[in-house]
C-alpha cells in the first residue's frame, strides 16, 4: 500500500526488548575502526575488557532496532537515511538490557516526484531500573513517496556550522573491509556487501553504512576534543549528505565553542565531498 499520512502518524511501538554484552560493545568499536593499531593506549580500552571496558557513545544507534516503519507503505528501494540524532541521558554501560518505545513524530510531503520526509523517535530505558538511557531521533527520506497528503516542507533547519576555519581536523582511515565488519552490528542491507547490487542501484561499489561514518565522526570528537573521555558526550546529531566507500579516509573538521562542538566530515581524495554536514555535539560539563 502507498504511504498514508494518518496511518503513518499513528505508528508506535512499546515494550521491545534488546540485550547486549561486552562482545557487542567491542564489536561496535572495531566496526568503526577502533583498535586498528592494537598498541594505541587511547583506543585499547574500547576494544579490550581489562581493566574496564569503555563504550563509544554512538553505539546507542545500533542497540535498539525497532521495526517501526516496516510495511509503512514507502518504496524501500528508494529510502535513504537523512539525519541521525542521539541524546544520552546516562553513560552507556558495557552490557545491559533495554526496553524501547518508538513513534513517528512528524512527516512532511515534498510533493509528487520529490519524496517524503519522516521523523521518528526511539526512547530506550534500562530494564533494570526503568530509567531512560538514551533517545534516538532519525529522519528517513523516502525519495519515491511524495504526494501523500502530509504538510509541505522538510522539517526544522539543521544546525549551522560556524563561518570560520575549523579549530581542529582529524583524519581517520577506513579499511576496505569496514562495511563487512560494521554490518555485523545488525544492519545486513546487501547494499553494503554485494558489488553487483551496488552497481545495479548506481554505485560503483558497496558503500559504507551511514551510521558507520557517524561512528567515525564520534571517534574524531573523542580523540580531538575530550581526550577519549566517553562520559563527556551528551548529544550527537548529524545530517548525511553523501556516501563513503570502504577504504576512504574521512576528515572531520571540528569547531569547539565551550560545550558545543560543530563538525563536518569530508573525503579529501574525492574533491573534499562532504559526507556528513551540520554536525552538532553537546558535551557534559
Question: Which DSSP string do the residues of 55-107 spell out, in sequence order?
Answer: --GGGGGGT----TTTTSSS-GGGEEEEEEEEEESSPPPSSEEEEEEEEEEEE
Q: What is the Cα–Cα distance from 53 to 244, expressed in whole angstroms? A: 29
What percent of the chain lies above the pLDDT cut of 90?
92
Find the range with the poorest average confidence among 25-29, 119-123, 130-134, 149-153: 149-153
pTM above 0.85, yes or no: yes
Q: Is the pLDDT of residue 62 over 90?
A: yes
Over range 181-186, report the average pLDDT: 96
Q: Is the pLDDT of residue 31 over 60?
A: yes
> For cell 554484552, what's the residue?
21
Residue of higher predicted confidence among 78 and 81: 81
Catalytic residue among 145, 192, 209, 230: 192
Over range 21-35, report the average pLDDT: 98
| Mean pLDDT, all residues of the chain | 96
**CA angle, residues 102, 106, 109, in degrees to nearest 5:** 135
Over range 3-23, report the average pLDDT: 96
**Is 129 annotated in the active site?**
no
Domain made up of 5-142: CATH architecture: Roll (3.10)
Q: Is the pLDDT of residue 248 over 60?
A: yes
Q: What is the Cα–Cα distance from 179 to 81, expressed in whole angstroms? A: 16
Over range 84-88, report the average pLDDT: 98
User: What pLDDT score does 1 carry?
Assistant: 54
Q: Is the pLDDT of residue 84 over 60?
A: yes
- Kindly state which CATH superfamily the domain 168-283 is placed in: Hotdog Thioesterase (3.10.129.10)
Q: What is the Cα–Cα distance from 232 to 225, expressed in whole angstroms? A: 10
Over range 251-270, report the average pLDDT: 98
Do the domains at 5-142 and 168-283 have one common CATH topology? yes
Q: Is the pLDDT of residue 229 over 80?
A: yes
Q: Is the pLDDT of residue 75 over 90?
A: no
pLDDT band at 234; cut points 50, 70, 90: very high
Q: Is the pLDDT of residue 44 over 70?
A: yes
Catalytic residue among 22, 40, 167, 187: 187
Q: Name the β-bridge partners of 107.
A: 118
**Is 187 annotated in the active site?**
yes
What are the domain boundaries of the chain?
Answer: 5-142, 168-283
Over range 15-21, report the average pLDDT: 98
User: What pLDDT score does 10 carry?
Assistant: 96
Amino acid at each position: 500500500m502507498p504511504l498514508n499520512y494518518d496511518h503513518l502518524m499513528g505508528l508506535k511501538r512499546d515494550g521491545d526488548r534488546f540485550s547486549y554484552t561486552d562482545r557487542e560493545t567491542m564489536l561496535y568499536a572495531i566496526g568503526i575502526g577502533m583498535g586498528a593499531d592494537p598498541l594505541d593506549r587511547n583506543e585499547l580500552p574500547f576494544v579490550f575488557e581489562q581493566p574496564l571496558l569503555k563504550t563509544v557513545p554512538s553505539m546507542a544507534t545500533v542497540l535498539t532496532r525497532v521495526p517501526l516503519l516496516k510495511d509503512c507503505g514507502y518504496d524501500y528501494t528508494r529510502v535513504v537515511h537523512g539525519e541521525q540524532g542521539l541524546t544520552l541521558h546516562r553513560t552507556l554501560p558495557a552490557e545491559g538490557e533495554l526496553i524501547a518505545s518508538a513513534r513517528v513524530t512528524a512527516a512532511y510531503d515534498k510533493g509528487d516526484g520529490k519524496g517524503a520526509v519522516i521523523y521518528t523517535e526511539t526512547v530506550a530505558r534500562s530494564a533494570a531500573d526503568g530509567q531512560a538511557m538514551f533517545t534516538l531521533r532519525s529522519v528517513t527520506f523516502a525519495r519515491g513517496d511524495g504526494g501523500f497528503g502530509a504538510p509541505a516542507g522538510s522539517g526544522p533547519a539543521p544546525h549551522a556550522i560556524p563561518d570560520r576555519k575549523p579549530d581542529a581536523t582529524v583524519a581517520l582511515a577506513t579499511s576496505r573491509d569496514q562495511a563487512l565488519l560494521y554490518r555485523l552490528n545488525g544492519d545486513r542491507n546487501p547494499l553494503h556487501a554485494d558489488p553487483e547490487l551496488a552497481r545495479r542501484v548506481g554505485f560503483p561499489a558497496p558503500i559504507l553504512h551511514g551510521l558507520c561514518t557517524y561512528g567515525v565522526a564520534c571517534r574524531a570528537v573523542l580523540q580531538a576534543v575530550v581526550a577519549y573521555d566517553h562520559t563527556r558526550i551528551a548529544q550527537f546529531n548529524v545530517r548525511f549528505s553523501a556516501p563513503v566507500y570502504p577504504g576512504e579516509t574521512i576528515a572531520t573538521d571540528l569547531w569547539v565553542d565551550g560545550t558545543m562542538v560543530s563538525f563536518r566530515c569530508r573525503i579529501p581524495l574525492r574533491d573534499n565531498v562532504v559526507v556528513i554536514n551540520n554536525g552538532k555535539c553537546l558535551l557534559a560539563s
